[in-house]
Structure 1
Amino acid sequence: MTTLDPVNSTGTASAGTVSTEAAPEAGAAPPGARSPARGRLGLPPIRRAPGAPSRGPGATPRAPRGPIRLPLRRTRSAAADGPVRPAVAPLLAVHRSACPGGDEAELLRGYEVAERLHRGQLRKSGAPYITHPLAVAMILAGMGMDTTTLVAALLHDTVEDTPYTLGELRADFGEEVAVLVDGVTKLDGARWGERAEAETFRKIVLAAAADLRVLVIKLSDRLHNLRTLRYRPAHKRAPYAKASQELLVPFAERLGIHVLKREMDDLAFAARSPEAHAATGRAVRAALRLAGPAFAPAVARIRAALAEHGVRARVRIRPSHLYAVHESLGGDLAGLRPCEAARLLLLVDGEERDCYIALGAVHAALHPVAGQVRDHIAMPKDNMYRSLHTRVISPDGDPFDVIVRSEAMHPVAEYGIVAHIRQARDDAATADAVAGRRDLAWLSRLLAWQSNAPSADFLDGLRTDLAAGHLAAFTPDGRAVPLPEGATALDFAYALDAGTGDRCIGAVVNGRLAPMSVQVRSGNVVEVLTDPAGSPSPDWLDFAVTVPARMHIRRSLALRRAEEAADAGRRTLVRALAQRQLDLLAAEARGDSLAVARDLGYGEIDQMYGALEAGALGLDDLVARFTRL
């Protein structure tokens, strides 16, 4: 069958509903049916509204009509929950539907504590503050997260914004909830000053290394803040949206939670460029109105080819989200075609091999564009995304994109780490799924360099690391080395270890000699050439790209400068003391030099000599101190 993915108010394809009112749809299914993927994730079956017409297998794709909004599947009435407060009844209902084994009593207790603590506090909109943590919990419940995560979401601002302490929270709700809340709690700006933002994000990264649910809560928190951004002062909206796109949206992409990423991107786009957002929205809506008939000939050919190859698959028209269209086309929106505003998604009812057969069927039905096939099944992305991508020519001559994945791959493609957490919820491997860092090379890379980055450099490094694309190069013995796009052979060397990077003098890439400045491409085999006497040079910073490489180079250069300054300062002091018949070498042997250094507040004599060379110490004063020994 063929369906058109619904889209939300910002133009984002809603493969899964991330709403404060409804549970997500992780993949369409026949009316009343429960797809294998949804059953595996514990998602409720999709139900057609009473009286809605059924669309059979031969139906032509159609575009959405009217305002583009997230389709909200209302939960049962709050009255059905008896004495439960109406405000929390929808949350309980969504959680009950997605997680039948959830602890509703604990969830209600978490709400009651949060409501009591936030009572009297208001949002910028004038609404009671409790509406925010409740909305965050609803977003998470819509993705099917566990009770512990929802309780932490309800309480996530209590330690930061109320007298409630982390110790009290731990005593009331246990260690697991306390760890999650502490992970998303911002550091005190009064105490940390300008370092607060950087150190807060460092804290989140470290907490996520132990439990990725910290990041999932943080992303849901930011999503709701973006949804309500219109209530902030106008001059604060664009900077907040910019920071969201630079730091939080990349985290959503790295975790594979594309249902969050798409909406956050579009909301941030609306705040940063309202006119461009509105123009893009109008153009996309106009194009989507023509999507059904425009794609119909191609869909018919694909269906026939799939049947001929014996593959069962659902074909869906997938609208692109507005920010993606804007990034792709900029302001050139005149005559936006359906093939530029949407693509086809094939959900294969079968195994991996059936996906490749389906890809062959697509290429048999429509002419493929050379060099446009990407195999993310054999080579999954860092965020565990698995699909086959291709670009083909429609019968009308328009190129468009096709994505092929199995029903089993679809939840992970939409929900990323959240799907893995859900799949492992009742499994002994839950801890591994929640931590997940063994499968997330980008997080391992962040952890490797963050501890050595001062606050002033951490956020810039984080932005750089998150903004980069991904590639994998290989050592001669077959070890995969993940790198950002644009990385050089020198970055590859530092990715192996700091010592190899410091001694790098060149590389052999795919059997050919290359300078260390050569860019590495995905799939390259790189052998690093080293010199035991080699050391970093300042010009290395001109072509080193990765944060770890640049940090190590700067550190090595700073250490060398410090050593050179200490040597120069020592020579100056030797000459000055010699004029007074004093021997600095003898003073060092007796420990007198170290005593003078520590008396001046330096831990090592080289620091004192360096300060002398830098002019921070006066030569006459230092000589006088040695004379008095």
Structure 2
Amino acid sequence: MRSLGERERTSHQHASGARRGRARAGEGRAPGTGGDRSPPDPALAPLLAQYRAVCPGRDEHELVRGYRVAERLHRGQLRKSGAPYITHPLAVATILAGMGMDTATLVAALLHDTVEDTPYTLGELRADFGDEVAVLVDGVTKLDGERWGARAEAETFRKIVLAAAADLRVLVIKLADRLHNLRTLGFQPREKRIRIATASHELLVPFAERLGIRVLQREMDDLAFAARDPAAHAAAAEAVAAALARVPAAFGPAIGRIGPALRAQGVSAETSVRARHLYSVHRTRGGDVAGLRPCEAARLLILVDGPDTDCYVALGAVHSVLHPVPGRLRDHIALPKDNLYRSLHTRVVSPDGDPLEVIIRSRSMHPLAEYGIVASVREAGDRAAGREVAGRRDLVWLSRLLAWQSAAPSDRFLDGLRAGLAPGTVAAFTSRGRMITLPAGATALDFAYALADGTGERSIGALVNGRPAPLSVELRTGNVVEVLTGPAAAPSADWLDFAVTAHARMEIAQALARSRAERSADAGRRGLREALAGRRVDLLAAEARGDALAVARDLGFGELEELYAALDAGSVRLPDLLERLAPG
């Protein structure tokens, strides 16, 4: 998949010619798709080992078959590193196998570049591997750059978002694909490394975060960080390593108090220290990592063995022995994040006076916290994985993307996507208790448009926590918002100064464009009516007879309003219309 230009492939001309010849002869179709049960290629060993470890007892034949097809189709293609190209789809499938993805996803990962880069067609793939695999491969296949031109990148991402609406596994494959490309980014020229890394931080890492796949998000974050700013990455790595070396002394006294407190409350739990990833530390410190303390480089994680309610008992136990910092408790169990993440976060003061971050979750919450939507796939198993992932409609961020993406023109789509995926969220509520999640910095106007019932365009103000507020007021998590509307209200151009979400901005821009078109059509019609009146011709009668519409169609306009707007804009001359409607 060559999205954002990361393809690392070169081809031997004689191999390419041979593949084209086989395709013309009808031999390019899925070589090796029969009942071949010969021993698998040794190169498959890492993939099969991961598959057996996470999914013991499943039939490996489809993986072997998918690999053999991909290997033969990509034969002769090389990565920029000089390695055979098959090493890339094999690595992508191995990443996904280690996460516990289902067999169909792994087969699709092995085949994900065949339709784009070989004579193998999507129809042939569907016939050989079935609809499920074909849908996944099609979802991640890059659009033809020659056909789409400058719009190819934006339209490829639009295609991925649409495919994700049917099956989120498309995004998971895309993320694993990008992760492997980031791992091998050193073989690319510096300018291309920076471009790919920047795009990863702006678009792909946020997708990983929104799907809750922390294991991918952390590594992608750090690899992109290293490519964009090697010096800052090295400084962060050195500072974090030094801080982690002091973790036992810094965290030991706190852990020594927490253990007995949990046992006293009858809570069985495991307490461990979790290091933060480098880019997170760098961003939190604003790039200045000098003097980094252990409490800034790591957090305490408490995994509770019992039911979810024991997490709150554990929280009380922690607060009973370590002083809590006011205002720093976040309950993501009662109020899960957009990506369904559930945990309690609190900040306490250690016996030595340092503030410590403590995360508390049950063991049943842990897989979802680390693997997000992938945990659902793992639980569903092969037979139900597609239905499980396709049916997740509780991911609010995806619904929000889908609400506006189909109408966004190519030149605005990627900017809107970046804004929609920007880090940070606000959870505000309607007066009836419905939660609306919005990006950080969102306003009451964004809230109004998020209601998706026409409220946005009729807005005139808001009540925030019962108090009057302008539509430009920035919302905070926990705010209760009531949008005030008026029957004659309409969007104004200054709304674009404080609307944050891509959906709101798109709706406002479209409403303003419609309003301008209507004003222009009215002005053009008024000018034509007055000119025709001077020739004793009634425009209303000409419209009723169909004469005006016939003239509009003859000039290439589908509707009268388009003709009148063109007249106002000067692209249609008034004397020409008069000659047609009132000759002589």
TM-score calculated relative to the size of structure 1: 0.85
Q: Secondary structure at the match of 1:226?
A: helix
Cα deviations across residues 266-296 of structure 1 (Å, max 9, x unaligned)?
Answer: 0000000011001111111111112122211
Q: Distance in 1 between matches of 2:453 and 2:405?
A: 15
Q: Which residue does the alignment assign to 1:453?
A: 408
Alignment of 1:599 onto 2:548: no
Question: Within 5 A, what are the aligned runs for 1:339-350?
Answer: 339-350=295-306
Q: Secondary structure at the match of 1:483?
A: strand
Q: Which residue does the alignment assign to 1:386?
A: 342
| Range that drifts further, 150-159 or 605-614 | 605-614
Residue 516 of structure 1, CA deviation = 1.9
Q: Secondary structure at the match of 2:79?
A: coil
Alignment of 1:226 onto 2:226: no
Residue 470 of structure 1, CA deviation = 2.0
**Paired residue for 2:65, among 102, 109, 123?**
109
Aligned residues: 548
Residue 382 of structure 1, CA deviation = 1.0
Alignment of 1:313 onto 2:269: yes
**Paired residue for 1:575, among 530, 538, 544?**
530
Residue 431 of structure 1, CA deviation = 4.6
Cα deviations across residues 130-162 of structure 1 (Å, max 9, x unaligned)?
Answer: 000000000001101111111000000000111
Q: Distance in 2 between matches of 1:306 and 1:190?
A: 63
**Paired residue for 2:110, among 154, 158, 174?**
154
- The AA in structure 2 aligned to 1:420 is S
Does structure 2 conserve the Cα–Cα contact (< 8 Å) formed by 1:382 and 1:440? Answer: yes
Does structure 2 conserve the Cα–Cα contact (< 8 Å) formed by 1:212 and 1:436? Answer: no
Q: Distance in 2 between matches of 1:294 and 1:506?
A: 50
**Paired residue for 2:497, among 533, 542, 557?**
542
Q: Distance in 2 between matches of 1:127 and 1:625?
A: 70
Please provide the CA RMSD for this pair: 1.6
* Structure 1 unaligned regions, length at least 5: 1-80
Q: Which residue does the alignment assign to 2:134?
A: 178
Q: Distance in 2 between matches of 1:103 and 1:187?
A: 33
Does structure 2 conserve the Cα–Cα contact (< 8 Å) formed by 1:498 and 1:552? Answer: no
* Bigger share in helix: 2
Q: Secondary structure at the match of 1:424?
A: helix
Alignment of 1:615 onto 2:583: no
TM-score calculated relative to the size of structure 2: 0.91
Alignment of 1:100 onto 2:48: no
Equivalent pairs: percent with the same residue? Answer: 72
| Range that drifts further, 611-620 or 228-237 | 611-620
Question: Within 5 A, what are the aligned runs for 1:480-491?
Answer: 480-491=435-446
Question: Within 5 A, what are the aligned runs for 1:19-418?
Answer: 83-418=39-374
Q: Distance in 2 between matches of 1:99 and 1:216?
A: 18
- The AA in structure 2 aligned to 1:487 is A
Q: Which residue does the alignment assign to 2:468?
A: 513
Q: Which residue does the alignment assign to 1:9?
A: none
Q: Secondary structure at the match of 1:129?
A: coil
Cα deviations across residues 319-354 of structure 1 (Å, max 9, x unaligned)?
Answer: 110000100113322221111111111111111121
Q: Which residue does the alignment assign to 1:526?
A: 481
Does structure 1 conserve the Cα–Cα contact (< 8 Å) formed by 2:104 and 2:382? Answer: no
Residue 498 of structure 1, CA deviation = 4.9
Does structure 1 conserve the Cα–Cα contact (< 8 Å) formed by 2:206 and 2:423? Answer: no
Q: Secondary structure at the match of 1:115?
A: helix
Does structure 2 conserve the Cα–Cα contact (< 8 Å) formed by 1:537 and 1:557? Answer: yes
Cα deviations across residues 35-77 of structure 1 (Å, max 9, x unaligned)?
Answer: xxxxxxxxxxxxxxxxxxxxxxxxxxxxxxxxxxxxxxxxxxx
Q: Distance in 2 between matches of 1:479 and 1:384?
A: 16
Q: Secondary structure at the match of 2:408?
A: coil
Residue 230 of structure 1, CA deviation = 0.6
Alignment of 1:585 onto 2:540: yes
Q: Distance in 1 between matches of 2:561 and 2:526?
A: 12
Does structure 1 conserve the Cα–Cα contact (< 8 Å) formed by 2:102 and 2:382? Answer: no
Q: Which residue does the alignment assign to 1:478?
A: 433
The 1:434/1:146 distance shift into structure 2, 3 A limit, reads same
Q: Distance in 2 between matches of 1:280 and 1:473?
A: 35
- The AA in structure 1 aligned to 2:476 is R
Residue 438 of structure 1, CA deviation = 1.8
